[in-house]
Amino acid sequence: MDRLSATNAFEGARDDISMQLSLIWAQIKAPLLVPLLRIAVFLCLTMSLMLFIERVYMAVVILLVKLFGRKPEKRYRWEPMKDDVELGNSAYPMVLVQIPMYNEREVYQLSIGAACGLSWPSDRIIIQVLDDSTDPTIKDLVELECQRWASKGINIKYEIRDNRNGYKAGALKEGMKRSYVKQCDYVAIFDADFQPEPDFLWRTIPFLVHNPEVALIQARWKFVNADECLMTRMQEMSLDYHFTVEQEVGSSTYAFFGFNGTAGVWRIAALNEAGGWKDRTTVEDMDLAVRASLKGWKFVYLGSLKVKNELPSTFKAYRYQQHRWSCGPANLFRKMVLEIVRNKKVTLWKKVHVIYSFFLVRKIVAHIVTFVFYCVVLPATVLVPEVTVPKWGAVYIPSIITLLNAVGTPRSLHLMVFWILFENVMSFHRTKATFIGLLEVGRVNEWIVTEKLGDALKVKASNKVPKKPRFRFGDRLHLLELGVGAYLFFCGCYDIAFGKNHYFIYLFAQAMAFFIMGFGYIGTFVPNS
């Protein structure tokens, strides 16, 4: 009897607590959460429409470019370089090729070899290796490689400095100060994992020679390890859209786009007029491009010219890269928006394009709306059914945007669902980085070189006896992703129990994606040696 009464008392107390929690939730929800969530839904729908209009606009432009065949060779004068009997090789412009690198053990030979293999009169080209390596062994290897090519008659310079101030921008700036650079007309830049084809200069330099208003020729990236794992396939889909659509549209309409930092050729006079390399943000390449554009210079994108390079295949490396690529543009926008507004050399429409389309929509809104809307606000409407999201905002617009993104990589259409889930997880990091850049706090100037594996894994696999990799708990466990995954999973369970929108299908799939990436089970796993 005593046991029964104790059980009844416990159940009564539990019911009282549940009722009290329900009352507290109801009192908070009606006056506070419902209005706030409605405002959040309105803002997210507005940003979704901005992104939707931008994507449709770019799709229309790219369609017109394809229909009317507006290739760079037709928009600008292009003629192959010809020999001059009287002038000899002096008829060819002097070209500097810069290769900045930092502890690039796995890929330094590939990049130096490809640069030294560029076809151009040997007395009209200088290869400049800018080595910021802190590992003395790697430094020695790079220097020996430069000496090896020098012994073959290649004009190659090995340059080092006693600090890493400014990181890549600082190295490039220091390299431009060398006395022999004064005789150069153009500078081609390749990151340490990039391998240009021998005819790269023959296809790019004529644009600069015959069009004095052009400052930059940008080539497209070709990914040698896109099939290495699912994560690299996802990256290929995102970057192919960037090159196939965004860069092409910018080049075809306003002759402006963001320099990708590599696989491009600059007119040195334009680079100097724009103020040279600056290290005030982690996107020194975009900074230079915007400043040069404000001086009235034009850019040309060559989608038909592809340069091989490597995608980051470990989740850790990819996260660091995406932080830099998201934080840097937001911080640059903060620093340059007034300068763009006050500029008198470019048209109003170009200012609108740079501020609204290039910066606001693509570099800020796109990241924020992807995470906040689809991973925070939309799931929250399950818990607060008084707030609803119209079907056009929850289903139709994101579906159309996704399909428009798919045009860049037709071979990966069957991976579209995985790409959506992957991008939503990465938008969490991009959103965080965007706010860090806008507010200029925390890791705003953090620069971590993206790790390249090259053939490292293949070599290790062939040379070493397989052994069980050591698992470091902190290296692969990402608490923030796990936290968001738990939130989405809870919302999915609540939707099954009380909801009517059937959002739980999406919520469980997205939660699973956050859990997988939260536990580090994505990308290439590099065993600890």
Q: Residue 85, class by beta-carbon neighbours within 10 Å (0-12 exposed, 13-18 middle, 19+ buried)?
A: exposed
Structure-token match 């790079």, residue found: 142
Cβ neighbour number for residue 402 with a 10 Å cutoff: 15
User: What's the one-letter identity of residue 490?
Assistant: F
132 is catalytic: yes
CA distance 130 to 419: 36
Per the structure block, which two tokens stand in for 367? Answer: 């990241």
3-class DSSP state for residue 97? strand
Per the structure block, which two tokens stand in for 105? Answer: 């053990």
Q: Identify the CA nearest to 427 among candidates 323, 503, 335.
A: 323
CA distance 63 to 54: 14
Q: How many Å from the N-terminal Cα to the C-terminal Cα in the chain?
A: 66
Cβ neighbour number for residue 247 with a 10 Å cutoff: 21
Structure-token match 């500078």, residue found: 187
Per the structure block, which two tokens stand in for 350? Answer: 């170009």
Alpha helices in 228-314 (DSSP H): 230-241, 248-253, 268-273, 284-294
Half-sphere exposure in the Cβ direction for 81 (13 Å, CA) = 20
CA distances from 375 to 182, 481, 488 (A): 53, 11, 7
16 is catalytic: no
Residues 316/526, Cβ–Cβ less than 8 Å: no
Residues 6+ apart with CB under 8 A from 184: 94, 95, 96, 126, 268
Which string of DSSP letters, residue by residue, matches 384-452?
Answer: -TTS---HIIIIIHHHHHHHHHGGG-GGGGGGHHHHHHHHHHHHHHHHHHHHHHHHT-TTTT---PPP-
Structure-token match 């003629």, residue found: 79
Q: Annotated catalytic residue: which of 131, 193, 285, 495? A: 285
Which string of DSSP letters, residue by residue, matches 278-293?
Answer: --SSS-HHHHHHHHHH
3-class DSSP state for residue 483? helix
Q: Annotated catalytic residue: which of 132, 240, 279, 495? A: 132
Run of H or E residues at 104: none
Catalytic residues: 132, 285
